[in-house]
Each structure stands twice: as C-alpha cells, then as structure tokens.
C-alpha cells in the first residue's frame, strides 16, 4: 500500500507496509500530516507565545471532516476505529501538540458514546435511548461542526478514580441541574459543549453513579474562570469551569446511568487516548535533531554538525528510545478492547508511562545534542520540550499512577492480601 502523501511531506510515523496499516489509516494519517505540515505547524509558535486557542486549526479540522473522525459512518462521520484515531492524532501531535491534545477531548465524546459503548452491556431500553441521544449529539458535530470539551479534573481525588466526582447532577423535572467546578478544562471558552463527568446526587452515591452530560457552553450558570499561563501545551487554553445551577435536558446524557463506570472499568484503554499528542512530539524531537545536524532546518544556516561521533551516538540513543516507544505504543493501541487481559492492561499502563516520559526525554536529548542555538524561540524545539513535560502529569494515568498500578497488579492478583 502506498502512502498518498505528496512529495515534500514528512515521512509517515508508522510506515503502511511495516505496520500493516489499513487503507483508512493510510488515508487519514496522510491527511493529518498534510494539515500539520502546511497549517498547524506554522501557526503553533504564535499560539504558544500568546497561550491562545488555534481556532483556525479547528476550522481546518472541520473542513477536512476530522471533527467527525470517530462518529460512526451511519451517522455521517468517518467511522474511524480506536487505532485509526490514535495514529491520526499522533500525526497531528508532530506539528502542534496542543491541537492533538484538545482534539482528543472532543473525540472522546464520540469514541466513548460510539465504538466503545457498542461493546458495553446495556438493557434493550437503555440501548434504544442511547442510540436516540447519541444521534442528536453526532448531528451537532456532523451537520453543525460543534466542538466538545472533556472536563474531568477537579483538583481532588476523583480524576484519579479514587472518589466520586464532586461535581453534582441533581435530577430536576425534564433533566438535570449541574453544580461544581472543573479545573484544567482544555478548550475552555472555545468548545460549544462541555462533556461533564459528574455524580448523580442521591443517597449513598458512589463512583458507580457517574454521569456524562453534555452541557452547552452558553447555558445559564456556566462560566469560564481563572488565568491560563502555563509552562507548556499553552494553546490548549485549559482554564477552570464553574457550573452554578446549570440546567440541561434529559437528552444531555451522553451515556445511560452506570455506563460510564462500566466503560472505565471494562474498557481501560479509553484513558490511553492522551498519548498520541505526546507520541507525535517524541517523533518531532527526533526529526528535528536529524535535520538540524544535517544542516537542513529551514531558517538556520546550512551548517552540518553530523560528523562528530558524540552527535552520532546521541542520535542513535534517540532512535533506540523512539523505536522502543513506538513499538510498545503500537502494540498497546491494537489491544484496546472490552475486558482486556491483565497483561494487556499492564501493557497499556506501560505504554502510557513510556510515551509520556520518553517524549520529554527525547526532547531533552534533542536540546543537549543540537546545542544552544537550537533552543532559541525561533525554532520549535524549546516548545516541544515544554509541551512534552505536561504528559506525565495528566490524570487519570499519570506516570506515578502507572508505576503504582503496574507494581501492585504485577505482584497481587485481585483480592489477594498479605498475611497479618
Ligand atoms: C495541558 C493540560 C491539559 C489538560 N486538559 C484537561 C482536560 O481537558 N480535562 C481535564 O479534565 N483535565 C485536563 N488536564 C488535567 C490533568 O489531567 C490533571 O488532572 C491535572 O494535571 C492534575 O493536576 P493536580 O495538580 O490537580 O493533580 P493532583 O490530583 O494534585 O495530583 C498530583 C499528583 O499526585 C499523584 N496522584 C494523584 N492522585 C493519586 C492517587 N489516587 N494515587 C496515587 N497517586 C496520585 C499523581 O501522580 C498526580 O500527578 C490537563 C492538564 C494539562 C497539563
């Protein structure tokens, strides 16, 4: 299978033949690569400098049909499956990490309600209701180009899965009233809907009572608050959201009661979707280093630095780390499914940890290897370095939590305890 990318585009991150990509994967990754090289990459420095949202990138994503990448075909979308989405998003992350990361928040609203929900258990009535509601949601995206955000984090234990979300949904006549605060909501002020994870307010409520509600950004009682001036991923514009008696109708429910909990426990790879942005950054750091040492980076003098043995060894180290990262990540994204085996789950944590930590390590090696001029703001490397630092901090699978779970789950079977 040949890659339809035009000459002059970067090579694909995953070669079609070697990785046995499907025709759709070849097509969508090439599309993402073209948009990234021609549009998102050139716009990235300005949005990074100003911590501003890349609205024009979203217009391009919309025009290319990529806002509907995971909307099922029967609803007018591209119907991409999980690995296809992950590979496509990684290509976007090569050129603008923030665009890939925010796109993930939007795409989750389609993936979780679509391909993933299709595999979950529901009663016939729940399935019927879900199908009707998600059709409304998909129509907004396909016909009106609407964008969804994914406010999940609250600054408490809920985002790590250790407690119910403090944001509450109270049943009212004809729908729900939402009250609470979300932090770090990427796309804040730029999304049309916030896909809010919250807890149904009822007696004895637990993590099982998580609801997933689409709250319109312009609903009364919804406010974007706080500053946004972070180290990296600055174009995600992840400010805080306040929900103060925000009212939505019953059809705002993106999943039936109890189904989000089932997804989180039975389809754990749903949380691996934060990685493509950083997989793309890892590739970009390597690509930049090779070009820079060959004297081929546009806007820099054509000075070659490749003849020094220390540079060659550094590039070899980077290549080893990149190959290891890509191989593990590719394997893990192909294993996403309902009720994965214990080994598949441990591998998913390992992939998350590896991508997030190695993206930053590759950027660090790139800066050290290319030298002082390469860290000037006129070049992308220092932005890649700052963006890459954010990956291992992202809940629910931070690098620390991945280590914690891999160690514990490798040593203990479910229910096993040590003797007193
Ligand atoms: C650029 C960017 C964009 C983001 N976009 C979004 C978004 O769109 N939506 C969203 O919901 N969130 C988003 N986040 C938030 C992110 O996922 C985390 O929730 C956030 O970074 C956590 O910050 P915190 O200081 O509140 O973490 P804390 O909860 O204070 O945790 C600090 C650290 O302690 C460890 N820890 C926490 N809980 C546990 C536990 N139970 N067991 C073991 N260790 C634990 C973790 O390693 C964690 O990194 C974004 C973050 C960044 C950096």
- pLDDT value of position 9: 64
**Which atom of ligand 1 is found nearest the CA of 101?**
3
Q: Please tell me the distance between residue 393's alpha carbon and the centre of ligand 1 in angstroms.
A: 6
Q: Please tell me the distance between residue 310's alpha carbon and the centre of ligand 1 in angstroms.
A: 37
On whether the CB atoms of residues 306 and 312 are closer than 8 A, the answer is yes
Residue 55 placed within a domain = yes
Ligand 1 atom 23, closest CA? 155
Ligand 1 atom 20, closest CA? 394
Q: What is the pTM of this model?
A: 0.96
Tell me the β-bridge partners of 193: 148, 216
233 and 283 fall within a common domain: no
Q: Label the pairing between strands 210-216 and 168-172.
A: unpaired
Q: Please tell me the distance between residue 229's alpha carbon and the centre of ligand 1 in angstroms.
A: 17
319 and 187 fall within a common domain: no
Q: Please tell me the distance between residue 133's alpha carbon and the centre of ligand 1 in angstroms.
A: 30
Q: Please tell me the distance between residue 323's alpha carbon and the centre of ligand 1 in angstroms.
A: 28
CA separation, residue 332 to residues 92, 112, 125, 300, 335 (Å): 19, 18, 34, 38, 5
286 and 240 fall within a common domain: no
393 and 318 fall within a common domain: yes
| Domain stop point among 245, 262, 279 | 262
Q: What is the DSSP string of 215-263?
A: EETTSTTEEEES----SS-GGG--EEEEEEEEEEEGGGBSS-TTHHHHH
392 and 290 fall within a common domain: yes
Q: Please tell me the distance between residue 105's alpha carbon and the centre of ligand 1 in angstroms.
A: 15
Ligand 1 atom 25, closest CA? 155
Contacts of 136 (CB under 8 A, 6+ apart): 251
Ligand 1 atom 37, closest CA? 160
On whether the CB atoms of residues 142 and 76 are closer than 8 A, the answer is yes
| Domain stop point among 210, 239, 262 | 262
End-to-end C-alpha distance for the chain, whole angstroms = 60
Q: What is the DSSP string of 187-224?
A: TTTT-SEEEEEEEE--TT--GGGEEEEEEETTSTTEEE
Tokens at 117, concatenated = 């929900």
Residue 418 placed within a domain = no
Tokens at 207, concatenated = 């993590």
* Residues 200/146/239/201 CA torsion (nearest 10 deg): -10
Residue 204 placed within a domain = yes
Q: Of 187, 394, 403, which is best to mutate to test ligand 1, by the most ligand atoms within 8 angstroms of its C-beta? A: 394
CA distance 129 to 132: 5
Residue 217 placed within a domain = yes
Residue 64 placed within a domain = yes
Residue 209 placed within a domain = yes
Residue 1 placed within a domain = no
Q: Which residues does ligand 1 sit against, CB inside 6 Å?
A: 105, 150-153, 155, 157, 159-160, 162, 184-186, 233, 236, 238, 390, 393-395, 398, 400-401, 404
- Cis, peptide link before residue 133, omega less than 30° from 0: no
Tokens at 6, concatenated = 């035009």
Q: Domain span at residue 156?
A: 149-262
28 and 129 fall within a common domain: yes
186 and 58 fall within a common domain: no
Contacts of 420 (CB under 8 A, 6+ apart): none
Closest CA to 100 of 244, 259, 281, 241: 281
272 and 405 fall within a common domain: yes
Query: Cβ–Cβ contacts within 10 Å for residue 63, how many?
Result: 11
CA separation, residue 321 to residues 26, 137, 163, 307 (Å): 24, 40, 36, 22
Ligand 1 atom 32, closest CA? 393
Q: Please tell me the distance between residue 281's alpha carbon and the centre of ligand 1 in angstroms.
A: 20
Q: Please tell me the distance between residue 153's alpha carbon and the centre of ligand 1 in angstroms.
A: 7
On whether the CB atoms of residues 240 and 321 are closer than 8 A, the answer is no
236 and 344 fall within a common domain: no
What pLDDT tens digit does each residue of the chain (420 aa) get?
Answer: 333 444 456 899 999 999 999 999 999 999 999 999 999 999 999 999 999 999 999 999 999 999 999 999 999 999 999 999 999 999 999 999 999 999 999 999 999 999 999 999 999 999 999 999 999 999 999 999 999 999 999 999 998 888 999 999 999 999 999 999 999 999 999 999 999 999 999 999 999 999 999 999 999 999 999 999 999 999 999 999 999 999 999 999 999 999 999 999 999 999 999 999 999 999 999 999 999 999 999 888 888 999 999 999 999 999 999 999 999 999 999 999 999 999 999 999 999 999 999 999 999 999 999 998 889 999 999 999 999 999 999 999 999 999 999 999 999 998 999 986
Closest CA to 281 of 350, 347, 358: 358
Residue 419 placed within a domain = no
CATH of the domain at 38: 1.10.540.10
| Domain stop point among 201, 234, 262 | 262
Q: Please tell me the distance between residue 185's alpha carbon and the centre of ligand 1 in angstroms.
A: 11
The string of pLDDT tens digits covering residues 147-190 is 999 999 999 999 888 899 999 999 999 999 999 999 999 999 99
Percent of the chain whose predicted confidence (pLDDT) is above 90: 93
235 and 280 fall within a common domain: no
CATH of the domain at 278: 1.20.140.10
CA separation, residue 244 to residues 177, 215, 419 (Å): 9, 12, 49
124 and 153 fall within a common domain: no
CATH of the domain at 162: 2.40.110.10
308 and 176 fall within a common domain: no
Closest CA to 160 of 264, 27, 286: 264
Number of independent structural domains in the chain: 3
Ligand 1 atom 49, closest CA? 393
Residue 182 three-state SS: strand
CA separation, residue 267 to residues 103, 215, 257, 264, 336 (Å): 20, 24, 17, 6, 7
Ligand 1 atom 39, closest CA? 160
């Amino acid at each position: 299978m040949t890659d339809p990318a035009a000459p002059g585009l970067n090579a694909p991150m995953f070669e079609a033949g070697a990785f046995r990509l499907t025709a759709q994967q070849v097509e969508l990754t090439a599309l993402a690569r073209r948009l990234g090289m021609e549009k998102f990459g050139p716009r990235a420095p300005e949005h990074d400098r100003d911590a501003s949202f890349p609205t024009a990138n979203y217009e391009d994503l919309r025009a290319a049909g990529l806002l509907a990448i995971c909307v099922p075909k029967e609803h007018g979308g591209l119907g991409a499956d999980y690995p296809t989405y992950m590979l496509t998003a990684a290509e976007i992350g090569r050129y603008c990490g923030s665009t890939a990361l925010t796109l993930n928040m939007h795409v989750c609203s389609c993936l979780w309600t679509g391909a993933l929900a299709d595999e979950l258990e529901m009663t016939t009535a729940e399935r019927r209701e879900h199908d009707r509601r998600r059709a409304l949601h998909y129509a907004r995206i396909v016909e009106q180009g609407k964008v969804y955000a994914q406010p999940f984090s609250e600054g408490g234990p809920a985002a790590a899965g250790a407690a119910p979300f403090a944001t509450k949904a109270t049943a009212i006549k004809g729908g729900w009233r939402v009250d609470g605060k979300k932090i770090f909501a990427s796309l804040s002020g730029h999304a049309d809907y916030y896909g809010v994870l919250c807890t149904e307010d009822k007696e004895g409520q637990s993590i099982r009572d998580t609801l997933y509600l689409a709250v319109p950004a312009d609903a009364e009682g919804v406010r974007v608050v706080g500053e946004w001036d972070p180290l990296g991923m600055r174009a995600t514009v992840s400010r805080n959201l306040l929900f103060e008696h925000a009212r939505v109708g019953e059809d705002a429910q993106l999943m039936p009661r109890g189904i989000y909990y089932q997804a989180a426990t039975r389809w754990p790879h749903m949380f691996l979707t934060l990685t493509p942005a950083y997989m793309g950054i890892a590739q970009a750091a390597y690509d930049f280093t090779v070009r820079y040492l060959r004297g081929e980076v546009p806007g820099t003098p054509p000075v070659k630095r490749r003849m020094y043995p220390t540079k060659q060894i550094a590039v070899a180290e980077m290549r080893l780390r990149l190959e290891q990262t890509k191989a593990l990540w590719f394997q893990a994204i192909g294993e996403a499914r309902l009720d994965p085996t214990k080994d598949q789950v441990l591998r998913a944590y390992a992939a998350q940890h590896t991508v997030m930590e190695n993206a930053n390590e590759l950027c660090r090696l790139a800066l050290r290897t290319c030298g002082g001029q390469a860290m000037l703001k006129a070049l992308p490397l220092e932005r890649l370095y700052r963006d890459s630092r954010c990956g291992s901090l992202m809940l629910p699978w931070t690098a620390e939590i991945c280590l914690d779970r891999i160690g514990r789950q490798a040593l203990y079977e479910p229910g096993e305890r040590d003797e007193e």
